[in-house]
Amino acid sequence: MNYKKNFIEFMVKSGVLTFGDFITKSGRKTPYFINTGNYKTGEQAAKLGQFYAKCIEENRKTGKITGDITALFGPAYKGIPLAVATSISLATEFQCNVNYCFNRKEAKDHGEGGTMVGYKLQDGDKVLIIEDVITAGTAIRECFPILKSTADVKIEGLIISVDRMERGAGNKTAIQEIEEEFGIKTFPIVTVREIIDTLYNTEVDGKVYINDEMKARMEAYLQEYCVK
C-alpha cells in the first residue's frame, strides 16, 4: 500500500491529479481529473515508470499477470512514454528486459511504412497495454483492432494509473465491460476510492486537496457515475 500512497502524492505534486471542474472524454462533468500529459521532466518519467513496474511485478508475484510478457504496448500518444518508462524500470529495477512498441495515429507511407513503432509484434506474443486512465473505455477499445491487425498476439492485461470505477456504456464499470467483451483484466496502480481515502483531510506540501467540500463532490460523482 505504501507505493500506492506515494503514487497518489506523486500525481498531486506533479500537477497530474487535479481538483476543480472538468469534462471527461466521455462528456461527464467531474470534480477531479488525471492528465498524464502534465508529466514533463526526466525525473517524473523515471518515477512514473517505477510505479507502473511495481504494479506489474506485484501482480506477477500473485500470478495475476504471466511472468513471460513479450512486449508493452503504449497507445498513441500518452501511452507512448508510459510504455517506454515502464520497460526501462522493469529492466533496471527488476532485471526483466521487455520489448516495447507503440502506434502512430496515421500510417507512415514511406520507409518501412505501417502504423507501429518499436518492437515488431509476432504471432503468439504476450502483450500488456500500458495506459493512463479508463473512464468509459473508449480509447482502450481502439487498441484491440490495432494490435490484432498487426499479429495474432495474446493481450495479457491492461495496466493503468487510476481506476475511476465508472460505468461504461451500461451498468457495469468500463473495466468490467472490457473484461467481458475482450477477456482482458485491468490492473490499476490505484483506484479513485484509494485516492479519497489517502488525501481526505491530509496535507500534501502543506495543502489539503480533498477537504469536506471536495470529498462531498467526489462522493456525489461516484454515486451518479460509478459502480460500488
Q: Output DSSP code: residue 37.
A: G
Please tell me the distance from the alpha carbon of residue 17 to that of residue 39, in angstroms, as a whole number: 11
Residue written as grid cell 507512415: 108
Report residue 65 as a C-alpha cell: 499477470
How many other C-beta atoms can be found within 10 angstroms of the C-beta atom of residue 44? 19
Asked if 110 is an active-site residue, the reply is: yes
Rg (CA), the chain: 18
Please tell me the distance from the alpha carbon of residue 184 to that of residue 67, in angstroms, as a whole number: 16
For residue 137, the SS3 value is coil
Angle at CA 58, nearest 5°, toward 57 and 59? 90
Please tell me the distance from the alpha carbon of residue 78 to that of residue 218, in angstroms, as a whole number: 25
Q: Output DSSP code: residue 162.
A: E
Strand partners, 163: 134, 191
Asked if 215 is an active-site residue, the reply is: no
Catalytic annotation, pick one of 40, 64, 108, 148: 108
Report residue 149 as a C-alpha cell: 491487425
**What amino acid positions are annotated as catalytic residues?**
108, 110
